[in-house]
Amino acid sequence: MTTRYRFRDKYRLQLREKDHNPPHVHIVGGPVDAAIDLESLTIIHGCLPAWLEQEVINWLVENRDELLKEWHTWQQ
């Protein structure tokens, strides 16, 4: 597991080794525990406060290609 980014110094965006499909990232911190599909950018597990969801999605749009490559590397 690796933290790829921190939002507001509290919420961590993580990629996890040997994770299940579809390609996704985890957002964790405090009471937040969610997973976001990297292809559709939809929440596939848990929930996020609206303000955090928008911030995370905006960041993912800019970094999705790199994250998808890294996700696939970790799954081999």
Q: CA-CA distances (angstroms) from residue 27 to 24, 38, 63, 76?
A: 10, 12, 15, 22
- The encoded tokens of residue 36 equal 């976001």
Q: Whole-model pTM?
A: 0.92
Mean pLDDT of 71-76: 87
Is residue 1 scored above 80 in pLDDT? no
Mean pLDDT of 44-63: 96
| 22 three-state secondary structure | coil
